Structure formats: C-alpha cells, structure tokens
A and B are shown apart, each in its own frame.
Chain A
Amino acid sequence: MSSVRIEPALTTGDLGPVSTSFLELRDLRVHFPTGDGLVKSVDGLSYRLERGKTLGIVGESGSGKSVTSLAIMGLHKNTSARLSGEIWLDGEELITASAEHVRTLRGKKMAMIFQDPLSAMHPFYTVGNQIVEAYRIHHKVTKKAARAHAIDMLARVGIPQPKSRVDDYPHQFSGGMRQRAMIAMALSCDPELLIADEPTTALDVTVQAQILDLIRDLQQEFNSAVIIITHDLGVVAELADDIMVMYAGRSAEYASAEQVFGQPEHPYTWGLLGSMPRLDRDRSERLLPIKGTPPSLINVPLGCPFSPRCNYSGLVGDHACTTDRPEFRDVGGGHRIACHLSAQQRQQVWEDEIRPNL
C-alpha cells in the first residue's frame, strides 16, 4: 500500500455487505486537517466485537484509541474530521447515518465512559441532575424515580453518602469521584455497547476492582459488548477476552488476552510488556522504555510505522520495513499481526531475547 493517498470523500453508496457482527469496523480512517498538514489519527483500522465479549485496546498514547471510539459514538459528525470506512453496529452502518439518528443510539444502544470526566460533565449542573437527564432520555419515568435511580447508581460506583452528594457540582468532587460519577452516568441506561476509555485511571485499586466488577455485572446481566481502553495492562489482563494493540492509528497485534501476554508476536507489543514495572517481579533499577519517540501522524514513516524504533527491522530482507507497509495478517488461530518478520524469526527473538527478560 502506498503511504501517499488521495483523501476519499465521506463514503456514501457502495458499502460492503451488512455485517453479521454486533460491532464491526472496516478500514476506518479518521483524518484531521490542521495548519501543519493532515493528521492521520486512525488510518485503516478493522475489528469485530460480539455481544457479551470484552475487547481490550492498549497501545501508544496518541495512537488513535479515543478518536476511534468517538467515531463509533458519532461524535466527529459536524466537525472538521474526515472519516471513511464502515462502522457497523447491530446491522446499521453509522458513518453514513445521520447525526440525529446516531444521537438517538447514544445512552441505550451505546454509551461511553470518557477519558476526560470534566468534558463529559457540565460544570453548572449538579452531578445528580446530569444523571437524571441522561436517564430520562431513554426511560419515561418521573423525575423522582430518576433521581432515586441516580442515587442508586452513585452508591453502586462507591460514592459515599450518595443521598447528599447527588446535589454536589462536579468541582466539589475529587478526581476519582468525578470519574465514578461519569461511570454512573454511562451505566445508568444499561448500554448494549459500552466503551470505557481509561475508566479507572483516577481510581485507587480497591475502587478500581469494584468498578471492574460493575462492568462485569453489566455484561452478564445484559449481555453487553464492552470495549475497554487502558494503559494499565493489569486491567486488560483482568477483563479482556481479546486484546488489540494499536500503534500510529493502526492495529499492530490482535489476539486473545492469553496469547498477547503469553506469546506476543509483534515487536511493539514486546516493547510495551518490557517497559512496565511489575509488582509480581523483583523491583528493577531502571525501567526499559522503547527507544525513540512516537511517530508524527502527519508524516507517518513509510513502510512499517514502527520501523524507526524497531530493533528487529534488520532481520527483514530488502529493507522491506522502511518501504512496504506490513499487511495485518493472521499468523494462526486468529492471532493477527502487522509485521514482516517470519514465524521462525519471531519465535527465535521471543525465546532468546524477550521472554527471559519479562
């Protein structure tokens, strides 16, 4: 694939066949025109998710995880963002759907826990009123009943004295309490698809565990599909069935949680696993980050976007890593990676260099 491409206009017409998955992204691209050039935040992303399943998305900061989620939620509509590809949710294509229609899906069909609690909450309304409003859009109940539901939700996310704190404004909450209030808002309508973008980063581990239980409960009770985006590899290990590792707006690796942690196949994933401090290991003197800096999304490196930072590009012949974009391919049993290394090379590097140091 060439790295220089003509920007396709918003896709209308010629969609592929209707997806049979609950959620399916096909070759999603989200590009932002800026003064410095076109920022290719998401550049050809495809995945599927079924009801009752949890997909964990990890990866670089700035690799397009949130932008992808906002695309699913229809929140790039009426902005300068350019979208192409297909997003199928329960048989409906959302990129070509109208903004009004997608808005009616938010809350019940799909809901998102935003990474930034303040932007999702209005500073001038009490926390309780915001949950009440969100709930009443989809449920024809009295204000009083909705308020009781709001208090119940605040209690379930562990806000102390929810009866009195329901009338607080967001600024009166601590960082983690705001995050929990937002989780309460997102869960209040029992969404069929829940996208949780860094849902527990501001929370201590005991509250975090409680929130993860809550998400599991939601899933069991309503058979919801869950996407959990986090930098905490411990959290994805706890919750996710499958894991997708993103780099520079693309998918680098996709496999079951067991495979990603037990037999990762992509050099970027190796780097990620090697750079985290772990409580279940001895304390190291120094952490080992991946060398180099994250790529520019305006001038994405030719070939493999990870090539300027990859220790193993030399193993691949013909400098393919810097000229050919590696195809995202199945390397066995649904385990997919975008890397030119052969199975034998990956196996050898993993056994000799990576595994002994994890």
Chain B
Amino acid sequence: MTTAQSRPRAAKASGATDLLTVSGLQKHFPVRRGLLQRGKDAVKAVDGLDFTVARGETLSLVGESGCGKTTTGRMLTRLIEPSAGRIDFDGQDITHLSNSRMRPLRRDIQMIFQDPYSSLNPRHTVGAIVGAPFRLQKVQTEHGVKRAVQDLLKLVGLNPEHYNRYPYEFSGGQRQRIGIARTLALRPKLIVADEPVSALDVSIQAQVINLLEDLQNELDLTYVMIAHDLSIVRHVSDRVAVMYLGKIVEIGEQAGIYTQPMHPYTVALMSAVPVPDPTKRGQRTRIRLTGDVPSPLNPPPACRFNTRCWKAKDICRTEEPPLAELAPGHRVACHFPENIASTPAAAAEPAPAPAEAK
C-alpha cells in the first residue's frame, strides 16, 4: 500500500500485470414512481468508468456522497450486475459470469462493506460469522477453525473473548472490525474496501491500515478503497480516482492529485478537509459549492459539474470534456483545469473565485 519499495510502479508501467481492467462500466437503476411506470427513467448511478488496477496496488475512489462509489464496488465484486461495460479480473472477463462460474472467484474477490450494521447476521455469533468463510470454502486451518478465528480477531484488535457474542453487543467500530476479520479469512487477491476505517477511532484506524498494508506486502493483495477521509486516502493510496456523478473526473498518482489537483471539483474537495487544529479555525479558505446539486436521474449535459463550477463557460454546457492526460499518468476531464504545469505560478495557491474565508 504505501512503502516506497513495495510499490509496483515499474510493473504497472508495463501494463502486463493489471489485475483489474474496467472499461465503459455502467449501472443504471430503473425507477418506477407511483402507478405510472415510466420505465425509461433511470438513476445513472455509474455512467461509464475506465480504469485499471495493477496487482499489489491500492487505488482509492473518492467523491461526493451518491456519486456511485459503492455501486462501482458492488459491480467489481459482482454483487450486482453491470448495465454495460466490461470487467476483466486476472485475465478473465467476469462481467456477466453466472453465479456458478463466479463461485470459485468469490474467494479471490472480497468486499468490506460500508455499513457494518446491516452486513452482519444478527442471529450468528461473531465466531460463526468470521468462521463462515472457512467452513463454506472448506479451507484447512492448522489448529482448527476456532483458533484461526480467534487469531483473526486479535489481528483486527478485538478480544478473543468476543467469540461467543452477538453483533448487537458491539459498538460501531467493533462491528466494522468483525467485517474486516471475515474478509481477511480467505486471503483474497482483490479487496474492495468501502469505508473500512471510518467507524474506528484513530488509533485502531492506524492499526487496521498498518494491517492492510502488511497483508498487502506479504500476500501481494490489491485494494480498491472507497473513503471520504482524504488524509487517510493520501496515506494508503498509490493512485486516486475522483468521481463526480457517476464518472471519473480526475485520476492519477496520489502525490499528483494532492499537490496539483486539476479538476475544479477536486480542488473544492481538498479545500474542505477539516484541519485538526482549533487555532486555525476560521483562517482556512474553503471553496463552497453553490448552485444546484444535480441528480443522477437527469445529469447536467456535457460537463456534469457545470451547475456548480465557478469556472464554467458555455462550452462546458455543450461539449463533454474528455478524460485527457495532462501530466504523466494524471488524467483530468475539464476544459479549464487548475494547476496545469504551464502555469506553475497558479500551482502554489489554488482556489480562486468564490472562495470565502471561513
């Protein structure tokens, strides 16, 4: 995940070792309202994604709440069926694999769920929940399943005494760790982690992140992380993809995205990160997004950010900006990007126009 040596940069450049290749991926949810079934309306939750993830790499998906991150994750793990596009995993097209053909792959592709409450069966003990993958997939364990489960519980910072307890007896963060322990049980190749640490206190966050990092180095795991906490994203990611309303608007190496965000939405996002320093309260310049919050039911034409973008011009409403490579490995979909290399003066101080002190 992070240490410089462990990064599969070189391998990635050759393109030969991509574990995951996604092209044109879409998910449209048909909507029906009232008695009149207007069959043609659809929530365009994910509307055409292209990206790759190299073996051993961590790609993070960030973006506005409701922009389609979880839906993307659920398609990658094939919990829901894509409406269009293609997903290749480990050299195999898995886009529409049947359940029975998907089964052997389930072990390799695991998801840590965003909502630790609804994803744990309330009638099963923690031991049964974390042990289930061993039993279902008939994995051999050296000292029996119970011991393996207790080791996993310790690994994620839970107490082995929790083995016989039920999910309702746990706090939010503890449940999240139960979910993580269950995911790790099978040693998958790809983990889609949807907000894996947001329910945890910062010390356990650090523990879990270090754990995920160690497992990645040991087992060559590949992660697709979904997270809102941008300081954590910076720490864990090799690359970051910023999504807005079902599309990727910017994707690139972590350092490039953080030091030179080019898409205005990314710039706004970075400016809103709360700083853990009360003495800086009110000194920060936050870009407030005004204008209509668009809906994925009928997204704005051309650039989807145009209803809220302070740089929008006519062309933004008529011509969709392509996701173009504006710096090596750094692609951006914007007609008037910020911080581009040709204007290094602007790079130092982003966030112009509607910024107000806050």
| Stretch touching chain B among A88-96, A97-105, A278-286 | A278-286
B201 touches A272 (CB 8 A): yes
Any chain B CB within 8 A of the CB of A152? no
| Residue A52 lies at the interface, judged by CB distance under 8 Å to chain B | no
Residues in B with CB closer than 8 Å to A61 are 171-174, 199-201, 204
Q: Which residues of B are interface residues toward A (Cβ below 8 A)?
A: 2-4, 29, 33, 62-66, 70, 114-115, 117-118, 154, 157-159, 161, 164-165, 169-174, 195, 198-207, 209-210, 213, 228-232, 234-235, 258, 268-269, 272-279, 281, 286, 288-289, 292-295, 297
Known contacts A234-B274, A258-B279, A202 near B154 by CB under 8 Å = no
Q: Is A201 an interface residue (CB 8 A)?
A: yes
13 contacts between A and B (CB under 8 A): A32-B169, A34-B169, A58-B201, A167-B33, A174-B65, A207-B64, A233-B202, A237-B275, A238-B274, A257-B278, A271-B203, A275-B205, A283-B235
Selected from A60, A261, A285, A296, the residue in CB contact (under 8 A) with B278 is A261
Cα distance A233–B258 in the bound complex, in angstroms: 20
List the A side residues contacting B207 at CB < 8 Å.
Answer: 289
Asked if A161 is an interface residue, CB under 8 A from chain B, the answer is yes
- Complex CA gap A203/B200 in Å reads 15
CB–CB A232/B205 < 8 A: no
Is A354's beta carbon under 8 Å from chain B? Answer: no
15 other A-B residue contacts (CB within 8 Å) besides A203-B228, A207-B64: A36-B161, A60-B203, A119-B117, A165-B295, A180-B65, A202-B228, A206-B269, A209-B286, A231-B173, A231-B200, A232-B229, A232-B274, A258-B278, A276-B231, A288-B206
Is there contact, CB below 8 Å, between B228 and A287?
Answer: no
A227-256 contacts to B, CB under 8 A, are 231-238, 240
Contact B269 A296 (CB under 8 A): no
Is there contact, CB below 8 Å, between B204 and A289?
A: yes
What is the interface residue range for chain A against chain B?
35 or more
Interface positions, chain A 149-183, Cβ under 8 Å from B, are 158-161, 164-165, 167, 172-177, 179-180
Would A205 and B273 count as touching, CB distance under 8 A? yes
Q: Are B65 and A261 in contact (CB under 8 A)?
A: no
Chain A residue with the shortest CB-CB distance to B202: A276
> Which of B258, B274, B295 interacts with A208 by CB under 8 Å?
B274
On whether A277 and B65 interact (CB within 8 A), knowing A60-B203, A294-B157, the answer reads no
- Minimal Cβ-Cβ distance residue in B for A284: B235
| Residues in A lying within 8 Å of B, measured CB to CB | 32, 34-36, 39, 58-63, 66, 115-116, 118-119, 158-161, 164-165, 167, 172-177, 179-180, 198, 201-209, 212, 231-238, 240, 257-258, 261-262, 271-273, 275-280, 283-290, 293-294, 296, 298
Could you say which residues of chain A place their CB within 8 Å of the CB of B4?
285
Q: Closest approach, in angstroms, between the C-beta of A225 and any C-beta of chain B?
A: 19
Name which residue of chain B comes closest to A276, CB basis.
B202
Cβ contact within 8 Å between A204 and B228: yes
Partner of A290, one of B63, B203, B297: B203
Q: A207-B64, A234-B275 are in contact. Are A115 and B70 (CB under 8 A)?
A: no
Please tell me if the beta carbons of B65 and A280 are within 8 angstroms of each other in the complex: no
**Nearest opposing residue in chain B for A288, CB measure:** B206
A282 smallest CB distance to B (angstroms): 10
Chain B residues whose C-beta falls within 8 Å of the C-beta of A208 in the assembled complex: 228, 272, 274
Instruction: Report whether B235 and A34 are in contact in the complex, using a CB–CB cutoff of 8 Å.
Output: no
CA distance A278 to B273 in the complex (A): 10
Task: Decide: A277 and B231 in contact? CB cutoff 8 A.
Answer: yes
Asked if residues B228 and A35 are in contact (CB atoms below 8 Å), the reply is no
CB of A312, distance to nearest CB on chain B (Å):
16
CA distance A32 to B168 in the complex (A): 12
- In the complex, which of the residues A204, A275, A287 contacts B269, with contact meaning CB atoms closer than 8 Å? A204
Closest 6 CB pairs of A and B: A176-B65, A61-B173, A234-B274, A287-B206, A289-B206, A205-B272
